[in-house]
Amino acid sequence: METRVANLDGRTIVETAIQDFKTALRGPLLRPGTPEYEDARRIWNANIEKHPALIAKCTGIADIVHAVNFARDNDLLVSIKGGGHSIPGLGLCDGGLTIDLSNLKGVRVDPTGKTARAGTGVTWGEYDHETQFYGLASTGGEISTTGISGLTLGGGNGWLNGMFGTSCDNLIGADVVTADGTFHSVNQDQEEDLFWGLRGGGGNFGVVSSLKYKIHPVGKVLGGFVGWHLHMTKEVMEFLEGFVQDLPDEVGKIGVEVIASREGVPMVIIRPGYFGPIDEGQKLLAPIQKLGQPRYDNLRPMSYEALQSSRDPYWPWGRHNYFKSGFVKALTDDVIETFVAHTRNVPSQHSQIAVEYYHGAYSRVKPDETAYPHRLTGWNLAIGGSWLDASESEKNISWVRAFWDDIEPFTSGGVYVNFMSAGEDDRVKVAYGRNYDRLVSVKNRYDPTNLFKVNENIKPSDSPKK
Ligand SMILES: Cc1cc2nc3c(=O)[nH]c(=O)nc-3n(C[C@H](O)[C@H](O)[C@H](O)COP(=O)(O)OP(=O)(O)OC[C@H]3O[C@@H](n4cnc5c(N)ncnc54)[C@H](O)[C@@H]3O)c2cc1C
């Protein structure tokens, strides 16, 4: 006996329609009660529990078109799952249909033309592995298990921000199935509006099946971190605010972070990524190593792939997580004092609180050039609460919120759409910033009934109530 599938009005979808849909697919259609379903339902954040009625594991564009048509014709809630790394678990929905793209694993690198096209089930670790085979890379997220698709469609910040801008700045084409079930291959010259919207507007406009990126030569890099006892936090932050003035693009990104426990000891760390000649980088970064008496220093030359996976152990799948985030213009006394006060009493040793500096090529793109609007040189703060057991959720979420309440007055008001948690609907407009109105007009054109609403949602002007 299969479980009931209901549409947004609670009306049951007849079993024969579901069986016809299943037959039309090349990939499996999963339903509750099987290990395959439970595996497909697994996402990075264990704090989010959702149970789709159906999960379509698509094998290509034909499956995606069938899934979109089935969801639309039957008025189902629909979610799109790329890498499953979204903090609020937006890859899944409760009831309805999840369009799971994790089987779309192809990466084709053109080393001569310096482009790469990848399926939207690819993770950054997989993408980097293929492009680095040719000594090439595009800006990508710094956890290798994150999906390329959710990250790029929301903007995408990474170690290469300073050199090559965001992931969406590196995007030169996308294949997408829109709400009416039609296929579009878009780029700067074809359906420019839709292409613009995909570079920061998230999953609002359709199901993206592949992404085409520019790729750049990237060889050995300088990475790792220098760490101090927690009582050095103020001094380390003050130092870094001075250090980042006149930073060359080759320091692709640099951040200060409190890691609640490293081998049992909380630390404040500075972690840079340097992409120029190694000896020049060592000279440039030496003042960091000379600050106070570091307890830990593993700054060293490494491969780009090693840098791109070096943070993985800190953010494994399956823990409970809750984030608050926002942009900060400068590490002022107010910001530093608040940061220091709240990082003294982190309730979980798995939590991490970071401020990362974005500059260089990132800031040379105009705010309306892509849908991703945040282009000021400055800091991105992420208060990352992370804990092991659901019984500790209340304590940890309260700590993140209290920290945020105190520091919010010193932030610029903007937030990166991919660093939002569940329940932040009131911040969605701010996340899209000055580009919101144009995004609404793209939404009106490509998804006027808001079929794709399980995301940081851009509501069409005449959005139906459901
Ligand atoms: C530990 C951690 C580290 C992170 N580090 C970074 C970082 O370094 N840089 C950065 O920029 N971000 C980072 N992020 C945020 C990351 O960008 C988002 O979590 C992103 O949504 C993950 O993409 P995904 O495909 O894995 O997500 P999913 O959970 O699969 O999808 C999230 C949403 O993206 C949309 N989506 C995904 N795929 C498609 C598609 N093919 N077509 C249409 N819509 C789609 C959908 O709306 C979906 O609901 C980090 C997140 C975490 C939890």
pLDDT at 140 over 50: yes
For 192-234, the pLDDT digits (tens) are: 999 999 999 999 999 999 999 999 999 999 999 999 999 999 9
Residue nearest to atom 11 of ligand 1 (CA): 156
Instruction: Work out whether the CA dihedral 316, 455, 42, 58 comes out positive or negative.
Output: negative
pLDDT value of position 265: 82
Distances (CA, A) of 272 to 195, 197, 299, 415: 32, 31, 9, 22
For 107-122, the pLDDT digits (tens) are: 999 999 999 999 999 9
Ligand 1 atom closest to the CA of 120, numbered from 1:
41
Residue nearest to atom 8 of ligand 1 (CA): 141
Centre of ligand 1 from the C-alpha of residue 196, in Å? 18
3-class SS of residue 379:
strand
| The model's pTM | 0.97
Statement: 221-425 belongs to CATH 2.20.28.120? no
Centre of ligand 1 from the C-alpha of residue 400, in Å? 21
Q: pLDDT exceeding 90 applies to what percent of the chain?
A: 94
Q: Indicate the average pLDDT of the chain.
A: 96
Q: Residue holding tokens 């004092």?
A: 337
CB atoms within 10 A of CB 366: 9
Pocket-testing residue among 45, 55, 86, 94, ligand 1, by greatest number of atoms within 8 A of Cβ: 86
Residue nearest to atom 16 of ligand 1 (CA): 151
For 236-254, the pLDDT digits (tens) are: 999 999 999 989 999 999 9
Pocket-testing residue among 48, 55, 80, ligand 1, by greatest number of atoms within 8 A of Cβ: 80
Burial letters 3-21, b for 16+ CB under 10 A, else e? eebbbeeeeebeeeebeeb
Residue nearest to atom 36 of ligand 1 (CA): 150
Instruction: Give domain 15-100's CATH architecture.
Output: 2-Layer Sandwich (3.30)
pLDDT at 266 over 60: yes
Mean pLDDT of 322-332: 97
CB 385 within 8 A of CB 348: yes
Topology of 107-218 in CATH?
3.30.465
For 50-71, the pLDDT digits (tens) are: 999 999 999 999 999 999 999 9
Centre of ligand 1 from the C-alpha of residue 79, in Å? 13
For 296-312, the pLDDT digits (tens) are: 999 999 999 999 999 99
Ligand 1 atom closest to the CA of 83, numbered from 1:
26
Q: Residue holding tokens 């919101």?
A: 436
Ligand 1 atom closest to the CA of 419, numbered from 1:
15
Centre of ligand 1 from the C-alpha of residue 394, in Å? 25
Pocket-testing residue among 77, 128, 144, 153, ligand 1, by greatest number of atoms within 8 A of Cβ: 153
pLDDT value of position 465: 47
Element of type H or E holding 152: helix 148-154
pLDDT value of position 231: 95
Given pLDDT bands bounded at 50, 70 and 90, which one contains residue 262? low
List the structure tokens of 271.
Answer: 């972690």
Domain boundaries, the chain: 15-100, 107-218, 221-425
- CA-CA distance, 109 to 90, in Å (whole number)? 29
Ligand 1 atom closest to the CA of 81, numbered from 1:
30
pLDDT at 258 over 90: yes
Sequence-ordered list of residues with C-beta below 8 angstroms from that of 451, at least 6 positions apart, any chain:
68, 71, 72, 78, 179
Residue nearest to atom 44 of ligand 1 (CA): 203
Centre of ligand 1 from the C-alpha of residue 86, in Å? 5
Pocket-testing residue among 370, 418, 439, ligand 1, by greatest number of atoms within 8 A of Cβ: 418
CB 280 within 8 A of CB 221: no
Centre of ligand 1 from the C-alpha of residue 417, in Å? 10
Pocket-testing residue among 42, 47, 85, ligand 1, by greatest number of atoms within 8 A of Cβ: 85
- CA-CA distance, 440 to 449, in Å (whole number)? 12
- Ligand 1-lining residues (CB < 6 angstroms): 44, 79-87, 90-91, 101, 120, 141-143, 146-147, 149-151, 153-154, 156-158, 202-203, 207-208, 315, 418, 454-455
For 142-196, the pLDDT digits (tens) are: 999 999 999 999 999 999 999 999 999 999 999 999 999 999 999 999 999 999 9
pLDDT value of position 304: 98
- CA-CA distance, 308 to 306, in Å (whole number)? 5
pLDDT value of position 279: 98
